[in-house]
Structure 1
Amino acid sequence: MLIFINGNRSVGTINKNIYGHFAEHLGRCIYGGLYVGEDSEIPNQNGMRTDVVNALKELDIPVLRWPGGCFADTYHWQDGIGPKSSRKTLINTTWGGVREDNSFGTHEFMELCRQLGCEAYINGNVGTGTVQEMCDWVEYCNMPGVSPMADLRRQNGQDAPWNVKYWGIGNEMWGGGGNMRADYYSDLCRQYASFLRDYDPSHKIYKIASGACDFNYDWTQRVAELTGALVDALSLHYYTIPGSEWEHKGSATKFSREEYYITMYKALQMKGLIENHTARMRQACPNKNLGLVIDEWGTWLDVEEGTNPHFLYQQNAMRDALVAAVNLNIFGDHCDSVVMANIAQTVNVLQAMILTDGPRMLCTPTYHVFHMFKGHQGARQLETYAETALIGADGADCKVPNLHVSASEDHNGNVLVTVVNLSDHSSVPVEIHWDGLSKFTSITGQVLSGDGAGAAAYNTFDNPHQVEPKPLTNITVGTNSFTSLLPACSVATFTLKA
């Protein structure tokens, strides 16, 4: 199969924030996943799990969204500051009715971001909060001078402002965030956006309106029309769900060929969603280049047997890795509109990077995709063309191309090519040509595959290295081209060194 890379054409620079993540007070994402507390026997630094933080640092995480999600709709940030002994203990009515002691709050989140070396994206509470409450939160985080909230921050041990840039004005306002109509939410958003202040001219905040879910283009258009002059971006939520019923979304590790191809088909719908939502935003607000923030995406599958159904703990197989790779390719090729994306979620929830079990942890196949693709961050997207064949389960309507490709060039002239072989049973020979690029001194490759287990392969705590990247050794280099053979159901990266 022929793949062509055109170095003369690009739609722009791939915003590093496309590789963002999401951590909600849900199940074991925060407590036991990212945070264990200073007194835990599990090694930690200021309460953050050392093993998890070290693994995540390898991904060069650019931005982390918190505290939700749906949890944000009932979260009152002042419950999570000050001495931990005096913080309110509540019940997390959103996710499972479990105890929430607020030991992980704003200071802990900012400490986590410091350890990860990433920016913070805070989602404000519009569902049950007030304009004053969110304004106070921005002031608490960002005010460098004298003010009630800045003084309170200093009283709680943080002298300098954190200068949090990214602020979400509500979450899923069309649903659990208040079941609002677009016009009503837009009026609220305009009010919130009007009072969220910049406290330092050199650290302007970036305001993100609560956008649509899935194919609700009318919500996007109306919110863009009414709020576009006051915000910087709209969000979009889209989960890849194989099952036809919400209560039966499908197993993470036990699925048929038809379910596999349905999953891939639905993942590829992200391209049309981005293009259609962006078109509505441009139509509604033609005088401002509103960004699209896909701050919840990934696979949503049935929870693992024997786990709390409200904790959303699912295994993570090679099929999930393919979904991640396809989406990251799509985001990169639409970097002229997609300014951020945050996979759901970082640890122990939905399509996680990492799973933990007490003191044990493992990196999932999805983690490895993010690690393999991180070279795209901040690089110039390159136009690609791939010769493909439509494939799918016998007799099924959901057909997908057997290959999915993206490429970028960094500031040193190095090129990263990311290729996904979606076929669940056939290897694919590829012949990659390019034009308009520098001469390369070397070409190396890596591949992630399930080997004999295929799309259902996954890592366990007893065998945490079952699915890991391996070198691709079957690369033959020609003039402005090279060839290789991609195993079935695999993700490959090729690095062309200038």
Structure 2
Amino acid sequence: MKKYLFMLLLGAPVMGLAQSNGSITISNDSKATISRHIYGQFAEHLGRGIYDGFWVDKTLPVKKQDRIRLDLVEALKKIKIPNLRWPGGCFADEYHWRDGIGPAAKRPRMVNSNWGGVTEDNSFGTHEFLELAKLLNTEPYIAGNLGSGTVDEMSKWIEYLNSNSTSTVVQQRKANGHADPYKVSFWGVGNENWGCGGNMTAEYYSNEFKRYAAFAKDYPNAKLKKIASGANSDDYHWTETLMKNIPNWMMWGVSMHYYTIPTGKWEKKGSATSFSESEYFNTMVNCLRMDEIVSKHAAIMDKYDPEKKVALVVDEWGVWTDPEPGTNPGFLYQQNSMRDALIAGTTLNIFNNHCDRVKMAELAQTINVLQALILTKKEKMILTPTYHIFDMYKVHQDAKYLNIKLNSPDYEVDGKKIPAVNASASQDASGKVHISLVNLDTKNAVNISTELKGIDWKAVKGTILTSANITDVNTFEQPNKLQIQNFNGAKKDGEKLSVSLPAKSVVVLELN
């Protein structure tokens, strides 16, 4: 088995392993940029995401600043997360920001009615979140409370954060230890207001958005990028209504949420770690739906915004499985396998290829919740396969998008077919070209012949993430079972690039 895996990593052919062929054409004629904000993250007050995740007990034997866990901070800085969305999620529309400021001992307690019915003490609030964002060197993205809040409450929160006036609320911020404005830019006007954020119709929400947005003020050097609470998955009527009823100048973006559910059924989603190839195939079918959903929302937005000034913000995405057995079902804690890595690579390729409209996205969620980057257990932490994908793909951040045409062989299970390979490409400021390739086929390697038009290059190197089984995971006992390896299965073949892409793998190539 070790020899087999070693040969996979090298990209060498393995006796008895079937191979198929595909082709790619990449051209340097695009004017689009892959925004770094596509690689954003989401941290909700949910389960062990904030409490016992980022924000730990004072007695935990790890390096901390106040109660912010610094080994997590360093890991996330390495992959250059560009933004962090907070405090929700469904939690956002029951969160009242004044409960989370001032002396911690005097903050009121609340019951998190959405996620597990647990009581939290509000010790992690506005100042703590913004200190975390500063340590991460990332931009904060705050989701404001439209569902159970008021226009005045949201307006005052923005003033508290961004104004430098002598008003009472600004003086309160200064008294709480932050003299200068925070200058928060990304601002969500509610969350999932079609559901947990108020069970509103699109028509009602669009009017509410305009009312709240009118009082969400800009302050000097702190122009808000207001993001409307957008559609659930393929609810195209919601997007049509918002684009029709809300002037383009009033919103920076419209959000959209889509989760990959292995079974396609919310009541029984499927296991994170125990699944057949048929179940895996169905999961990837559901993952690939993201391309169709994004395309159709983008087409609607194009009708009302042909200049593409309004961003499509996919601020919740990822695989959602049944919680790990023995854990609180309201905490949404799930393991993270090689399947999750393939989902992450595929989804990020889709976003990259739609970067003319998708300008921002947030994986759900960062720590200990859903498709997490990092899992913790007391003082221990592990980097998940999904984390490694974000590490490999960070080369695309703010790079020039390269047009890509892909001819992929099929991956077939039980008489059903999907493309085996997906890909995206970019060119960074130094001229280096990066190509990210995902092979979803669990058994067959794929030989890819790539033509590069208008691109000069002399050498290629790469990295790969793969494993013997799609169910393989990193555990606290074996934290490095899945990790990034060097990949030598690509070479220059005349003027073309030849790649031997192993089964169930994610590869990122760099052309110099």
Q: Mapping of 1:255-404 within 5 angstroms?
A: 255-285=275-305, 289-395=309-415, 397=416, 399-404=417-422
2:476 — aligned with what?
Answer: 461
1:446-486 deviation line (CA, Å, top 9, x unaligned): 11001x22x11110000000011111123332333232322
- Could you tell me whether the CA contact under 8 Å between 1:296 and 1:344 is conserved in 2? yes
- Could you tell me whether the CA contact under 8 Å between 1:11 and 1:334 is conserved in 2? no
* TM-score calculated relative to the size of structure 2: 0.94
- The farther-off stretch of 269-278 and 476-485 is 476-485
Please state if 1:199 is matched with 2:219: yes
SS at match of 2:422: strand
Please state if 1:45 is matched with 2:70: no
The size of the alignment, in residue pairs, is 491
2:461 — aligned with what?
Answer: 444
C-alpha distance in 2, partners of 1:56/1:8? 31
- Note the C-alpha offset of 1:394: 2.1
Please state if 1:416 is matched with 2:434: yes
C-alpha distance in 1, partners of 2:426/2:339? 24
- The farther-off stretch of 364-373 and 8-17 is 8-17
1:120-157 deviation line (CA, Å, top 9, x unaligned): 00000011000000001101110023222211110000
1:57-83 deviation line (CA, Å, top 9, x unaligned): 111000000000000010000100000
- Could you tell me whether the CA contact under 8 Å between 2:22 and 2:446 is conserved in 1? no
From 162, 172, 186, the counterpart of 1:152: 172
1:258-281 deviation line (CA, Å, top 9, x unaligned): 111111111111111111111212
C-alpha distance in 1, partners of 2:136/2:150? 31
C-alpha distance in 1, partners of 2:328/2:295? 37
C-alpha distance in 1, partners of 2:216/2:331? 33
Relative contact order (alpha carbons < 8 A, sep ≥ 6): 1 or 2 greater?
Answer: 2
- Could you tell me whether the CA contact under 8 Å between 1:368 and 1:469 is conserved in 2? yes
When residues 228 and 3 of structure 1 are mapped into structure 2, their CA distance, relative to the original with a 3 A threshold, is farther
Q: Mapping of 1:206-285 within 5 angstroms?
A: 206-229=225-248, 230-285=250-305
- Could you tell me whether the CA contact under 8 Å between 1:317 and 1:365 is conserved in 2? yes
- Could you tell me whether the CA contact under 8 Å between 1:282 and 1:290 is conserved in 2? no
What one-letter code is carried by the residue in structure 2 that aligns with 1:446? T
State the identity as a percent.
46
User: Can you give the 5+ residue segments of structure 1 that lack an aligned partner in the other structure?
Assistant: none
From 160, 166, 174, the counterpart of 1:140: 160
C-alpha distance in 1, partners of 2:25/2:298? 25
1:339-378 deviation line (CA, Å, top 9, x unaligned): 1000000000000000001110000000000000000000
When residues 385 and 286 of structure 1 are mapped into structure 2, their CA distance, relative to the original with a 3 A threshold, is closer
- Could you tell me whether the CA contact under 8 Å between 2:264 and 2:286 is conserved in 1? no
- Note the C-alpha offset of 1:4: 3.0
Please state if 1:167 is matched with 2:184: no
C-alpha distance in 1, partners of 2:358/2:289? 15
From 490, 497, 500, the counterpart of 1:475: 490
User: Can you give the 5+ residue segments of structure 2 that lack an aligned partner in the other structure?
Assistant: 1-20
When residues 218 and 484 of structure 1 are mapped into structure 2, their CA distance, relative to the original with a 3 A threshold, is same
- The farther-off stretch of 60-69 and 420-429 is 420-429
Please state if 1:116 is matched with 2:116: no
**Aligned Cα root-mean-square deviation (Å):** 1.4
When residues 277 and 11 of structure 1 are mapped into structure 2, their CA distance, relative to the original with a 3 A threshold, is farther
What one-letter code is carried by the residue in structure 1 that aligns with 2:431? G
1:406-458 deviation line (CA, Å, top 9, x unaligned): 10001111011000011011122222221201333x311111001x22x1111
- Could you tell me whether the CA contact under 8 Å between 1:228 and 1:288 is conserved in 2? no
Please state if 1:488 is matched with 2:503: yes
SS at match of 2:481: coil
